[in-house]
Amino acid sequence: MTFEEMRGQAVLEWEALKYGKVPIIRVGAASCGVAAGAEAVLAAIESELARRGIEAVVSRVGCIGLCYAEPIVDVTMPGQPGVSYGNVTAEMVPRIVWDHVINGDPCLDLALGMIRGNGHPAGAPELFDLPMLRPQSRVVLRNCGIIDPENMQHYLANFGYSGFARALTLMPEEVVDEVARARLRGREGLGFPTAEKLEACRAAPREKKYVICNADEGDPGSFVNRTLLESDPHSVVEGMLIGAYAVGASEGYIYCRSDQALAVQRLRVAVQQMEERGLLGRDIFGSGFGFDVRVVEGAGGLVCLDDTALVSCLEGRRAMPKGYPPGPAVSGLWGRPTVVNNAETWTNVAVILQRGSGWFRRYGTEASKGTKVFSLAGKVNRIGPIEVRLGTILSEVVYGIGGGIANGKRFKAVHVGGPLGGCLPSDFLNTPIDYEAMAAAGAMLGSSIIVLDEETCTLDLARNLLAFTQSESCGKCVPCRVGTTHMLRVLEGITRGQGKPDDIGQLQKLAQTVRDGSLCPLGQNAPNPVLTTMLYFRDEYEAHINEKRCPAGVCLMGVSGGPAPARVR
């Protein structure tokens, strides 16, 4: 079967589903939904439909981004717009089935919003006009919460694999050029140009080459890669297929954390479907190009943010970075040329080939093109995975998308970039979210944005993050291994009320030593939370040291032993 025939069949099935004569019920069943009780809701729906003898299409979908409203249930009746219900419980199901499915009367008092369709009943807004969704630009997350992640037909019907099909009509170097024209930069946080990795690997004179997807976030506060794998796994693998064709790779590996069982399960289903449909294996679509993918589970680790450390892990060795050059694009997995990107980056590659580099460049700033997906968390009213154009200002995320500070508290800071990021005060709320602006502020782009209110102690935050980073250090570089340990001891002393006047200066010297003497991004950026809190919240450090007082009332000042070093994971 040709790709055109395959997609045509999928479109027919999708249209038959959308415009069919039976109700369609979708349940958000990513990790956030499951944790909130989605499986119980799904069981209640199936039971109630069976009890009443109602034929309907019931399916699981991924996360649409409204994690605060999970479990979410979408009900679409034939010829009517869909209704999205939030915070659904099993006890609410009989009413939804009776009123909406049987009697055609939507329960608008339970509705989050209406899904685009025929007509629009009064009393509920358009779902994508909700304050959390309206400011977003859903490019990477376009299918999340919309399609069944375990149904390849859904992905194909929504332009899935059209980017790969287009790539096969181009020469490999033309594919690299298209990514270069899009000016895509790695979404891991460091922002290395993706096309440069592809070109270096393509030009490397070796027969055996690899592509790798690093789906381990490392950052315990981020759930971007997990969201993609649980909600739209085919988009990640399509990007890898395109990258493999561009560089001449015949094998790929997707590295996942073993404790993310749902993501691994859906990814394995996607790979199996691709093998069965001829999108993996030898001579794909008669092109002469062959590619296979393996899903590898591991313990994960922040050090795997470094490509060479991840390669070592996949080779069965301890995850430890190597020096550059050469990079993995020249000498990577088992000494062969290898391209390593995270799930979000590979999904962007698929989008660029689907829609074109010119379309992609319409998003973002001059130096930072496209969109960026973040895990929005902390003391805001609305949390979940979000996607914004690069260049969006922080206040739009905190107040527009996040809905402001929860429980009527005052904004204190926003931490951008996870354990290796920076803590920024209100002066930075008008700062654009892009690679350059975040680096200039002392943070990094990363994949998480955590909002802090007035009850947060920035020293306690820095101590927690440094404790995690120190525990994640592979130990190879002495400045990182020993330096972060000494920094943590100093911070713990300050938070116990044992701080000394020269502690701030000592922390600054230690931080510089750790930065200068470390091989990988972990060590080079581990001091960021401490440095930014010392820079922007100096008065809090001085209160802890000079007055033996925690302004936020968090630190157990003067208590022997003080707070135990935090182990985030």
Q: What is the pLDDT along the chain (569 residues), one digit of tens a residue?
A: 899 999 999 999 999 998 999 999 999 999 999 999 999 999 999 999 999 999 999 999 999 999 999 999 999 999 888 999 999 999 999 999 999 999 999 999 999 999 876 555 556 789 999 999 999 999 999 999 999 999 999 999 999 999 999 999 999 999 999 999 999 999 987 899 999 999 999 999 888 999 999 999 878 888 999 999 999 999 999 999 999 999 999 999 999 998 899 999 999 999 999 999 999 999 999 999 999 999 999 887 899 989 999 999 999 999 999 878 889 999 999 999 999 999 999 999 999 999 999 999 999 999 999 999 999 999 999 999 999 999 999 999 999 999 999 999 999 999 999 999 999 999 999 999 999 999 999 999 989 999 999 999 999 999 999 999 999 999 999 999 999 999 999 999 999 999 999 999 999 999 999 999 999 999 999 999 999 999 999 999 999 999 999 999 999 876 544 444 444 33
Do 220 and 355 have their domain in common? yes
CA dist., res. 509 & res. 516, Å (int): 11
Confirm whether pTM is higher than 0.85: yes
Structure tokens at 11: 């479109």
Do 82 and 209 have their domain in common? no
Structural domain contains residue 403: yes
Q: Are 140 and 387 in contact (CB under 8 A)?
A: yes
Do 423 and 508 have their domain in common? no
Name the strand (E) or helix (H) holding 380: none
Structural domain contains residue 239: yes
Do 28 and 114 have their domain in common? yes
CA dist., res. 127 & res. 142, Å (int): 14
Structural domain contains residue 136: no
Structural domain contains residue 49: yes
Do 331 and 437 have their domain in common? no
Do 8 and 119 have their domain in common? yes
CATH of the domain at 233: 3.40.50.11540
Q: How many CB atoms lie within 10 A of CB 272?
A: 12
Among 403, 429, 453, identify where a domain stops.
Answer: 453
Structural domain contains residue 557: no
Domain count, the chain: 4
Q: Are 96 and 86 in contact (CB under 8 A)?
A: no
Structure tokens at 105: 């009367």
Q: Are 46 and 97 in contact (CB under 8 A)?
A: no
Do 196 and 317 have their domain in common? yes
Do 449 and 465 have their domain in common? no
CA dist., res. 330 & res. 325, Å (int): 9
Do 99 and 240 have their domain in common? no
Among 412, 431, 453, identify where a domain stops.
Answer: 453
Do 347 and 283 have their domain in common? yes
Structural domain contains residue 150: no
Do 235 and 283 have their domain in common? yes
CATH of the domain at 84: 3.40.30.10
Do 330 and 201 have their domain in common? yes
CATH of the domain at 392: 3.10.20.600
CA dist., res. 471 & res. 491, Å (int): 15
Structural domain contains residue 138: no
Alpha helix (H) ranges present in 232-342?
233-247, 261-277, 307-314
Structural domain contains residue 422: yes
Cα 184 to Cα 167, 181, 534: the distances in Å are: 17, 8, 33
Cα-Cα-Cα-Cα dihedral sign, residues 141, 301, 567, 493:
negative
Q: How many CB atoms lie within 10 A of CB 89?
A: 12
| Parent domain of 426 | 371-453
Name the strand (E) or helix (H) holding 293: strand 292-298
